[in-house]
Amino acid sequence: MISRAEGYRRSVGKERLGLEVAQNFLHTVLSECSALVDDRVLNYTHGDLVVASGKYIEVKTQPIDPTRYRQNFVELFEKTQKQEHADGFDRVARLLGMAPDCLASTRVTSRETPNLPLGMLPYVSVSIESFSTAACVMYVNPYFQTKYVYCYEKPFLRSQIAHALATKGLGRGLGNSNRDTFSVFIDYPDAVWSFDHDTGWRYAGAASEQHVKAALQTCLT
């Protein structure tokens, strides 16, 4: 299990790759022009990209692959020691639609400890601040020859997170995350595409591509 500092060191530069793939997907598949959100506060509260309509998109870069993994890893928050994160626990609870004491009672599974309640954490860095304002959240794997994009519209994403919390609770330090990361695993959306340089973008979802694309385009207008 890696430390929080090591996790950040490894992520340097990877977000840029994910954003490049996301913008290519938006332009090529959905005919949407997008711009990077440079303002630090707006980026944190609304998302990484903004499209012509003024809607925002959050982009999460990680090694997703539906041929290898049964579900998608979603980081919700991190435990820290920083005073600036003193209000983070309450903010996470609000974003999840839970009372703080309800979040504190959520069971946690890790590689090292038994299944125990989370408890009230004094300092929490929020990883999902933009989930309540972005029109959709894109998970992007830009690392390999075959690249993947999952597009979650906000209602489906929120319902999936709520279901995971209610049925399985939180995971700590799972996947390739650091030991202070708390997460859930959720189902894939219908909106899944793959890309490689030989074939270009290909739809990889289970529903009708035409209907899925139309729903996404409506979401972003």
| pLDDT of 5 strictly over 50 | no
- Residue pair 95/103 in contact by the 8 Å Cβ criterion: no
Report the distance separating Cα 195 and Cα 57, nearest Å: 20
Split into its structural domains, the chain has a count of: 1
Mean of pLDDT over the chain: 92
| Res 176: pLDDT | 77
Euclidean distance between CA atoms 60 and 179, whole angstroms: 19
Secondary structure of the chain in HEC code, one letter for each residue: CECHHHHHHHHCCHHHHHHHHHHHHHHHHCCCCEEECCCHHHHHHHCCEEECCCCEEEEEECCCCCCCCCCEEEEEEEECCCHHHCCHHHHHHHHCCCCHHHHHCCEEEECCCCCEECCCCCCEEECCHHHHCCCEEEEEECCCCCEEEEEEEHHHHHHHHHHHHHHCCEEECCCCCECCEEEEEECCCCCEEEEECCCEEEECCCCCHHHHHHHHHHHCC
Which residues have C-beta within 8 Å of that of residue 46, sequence separation ≥ 6? 37, 56, 130, 133, 134
Which range marks the domain in which residue 116 is found?
4-219
Beta bridge partners of 61: 140
Q: How confident is the model over 206-212, as a mean pLDDT?
A: 95
Give yes or no for a contact between 55 and 221, defined as CB atoms under 8 angstroms apart: yes
Q: What does the alpha-carbon distance between residue 147 and residue 53 come to, in Å, rounded to a whole number?
A: 27
pLDDT(11) > 80: no
Q: For 95-135, how does the pLDDT look when each residue is reduced to its tens digit (9 = 90+)?
A: 999 999 999 999 999 987 778 999 999 999 999 999 999 99
Length of the chain (residues): 221
Tokens 């997907």 belong to 25
As a whole number, mean pLDDT of residues 31-38 equals 96
**Number of CB atoms found within 10 A of residue 113's CB:** 10
Across 32-61, average pLDDT? 97
pLDDT at residue 52 tops 80: yes
Q: How far, in Å, CA of 169 to CA of 185, rounded?
A: 10
- Cβ–Cβ contacts within 10 Å for residue 28, how many? 13
* pLDDT at res. 7: 45
Whether 1 shows a pLDDT value over 70: the answer reads no
User: What confidence category does residue 143 fall into, taking pLDDT thresholds of 50, 70 and 90?
Assistant: very high
When pLDDT is cut at 50, 70 and 90, the band that residue 13 belongs to is low
Mean pLDDT of 24-37: 97
pLDDT score at 192? 98
Q: At residue 28, does pLDDT exceed 80?
A: yes
Residue with tokens 């074939």: 199
What's the whole-number mean pLDDT along residues 6-14? 49
